[in-house]
Amino acid sequence: MKKRTVLCCAAMLAVMLTAVSLSAQDAEEIVRSSRDRIQADSVYTRSTMILKAKNGGETRRVIEQFSKDGPRGNRVVIVFHEPKSVAGIRFLTMENPGREDDRWIFLPDRGRVQRIPSADGSKSFVGTDFSNDDISSSDRGADLDRHSLLREEDLGGNPCYVIQSIPKDSSYQYSKMVQWIDKGTRVCHKIELYDKKNALVKTLEILRLEDKDGRLSPMQTRMTTHAAGTYTQINVDLIRYDAQIPEGFFTQEYLATGRSR
């Protein structure tokens, strides 16, 4: 009887461990499918960026974004057009599978292209509530974090998986990210970002979605910095999938001159 009890306990433990393993595997697959859900070789957007200050004041910026798959991963260029104080700023990030992205920025007042070191990943992206790392987060590899399914719950009437993601690299600016991923569409409706003390510092929310060319697309996104009482909202005014974007856009020469060969 005692031997049978031990064997039963061992069998139950094996089942439990298998369940935990499958849960972690499933959570990673859910995150991966969420980040890969929009299939397009390239994406062009023109957006209005609204920066809301703690005192209620607003600053508006007009930006263009060019994204395109490349031989090593996704490339993104962001160009600032308005107002005059930021016009001409150009930013390039290039994905590198298995290691950190390469990032460069051109600031007109300095007149040269500067590489953004990985140590500056937590710094504000051109004075917004987004950090340099945040700009690349939608393409962050699912294998860079350890994922676990916390629970399932509705968010705004959408049944979601709530998944916690803990970076494998302890030098990453966040200690964990908690994501609300739609069970049906795989849209990530919300992400909570926690600092090294496990305090909630920022929240990213998709406020409006629209079907564009058969793809459920985020048209209004907001990043809130809680302690500062500020937020940055991006309203997409125009979006084009599989747009013809020259390869020359994804070069330091384009950053410096604004022209593509």
Residue 149 burial by CB count (10 A; 0-12/13-18/19+): exposed, middle or buried? middle
Does 73 fall in a domain?
yes
9 band by pLDDT with thresholds 50, 70 and 90: very low
Q: Is 133 exposed, middle or buried (0-12, 13-18, 19+ CB in 10 A)?
A: buried
* 250 within a domain of the structure (yes/no): yes
Give per-residue pLDDT as tens, 217-226.
999 999 999 9
Which structural domain range is residue 90 located in?
A: 34-257
Q: 17 versus 228: which is more confidently predicted? A: 228
pLDDT value at residue 19? 41
pLDDT digits (tens, 9 = 90+) for 103-120: 999 999 999 999 999 889
- pLDDT-based confidence at 96, cuts 50/70/90? confident
Cα distances (angstroms) measured from residue 209 to each of 31, 206, 215, 236: 19, 7, 10, 10
pTM, to two decimals? 0.87
**CATH classification of the domain holding 96:** 2.50.20.10
Residue 100 lies in a domain: yes
Smallest Cα–Cα separation from 255: which of 46, 61, 94? 94
Helix residue ranges, H only, the chain: 2-35, 132-136, 252-257
**Domain total for the chain?**
1
In a domain, 18, yes or no: no
Domain membership of residue 22 (yes or no) is: no
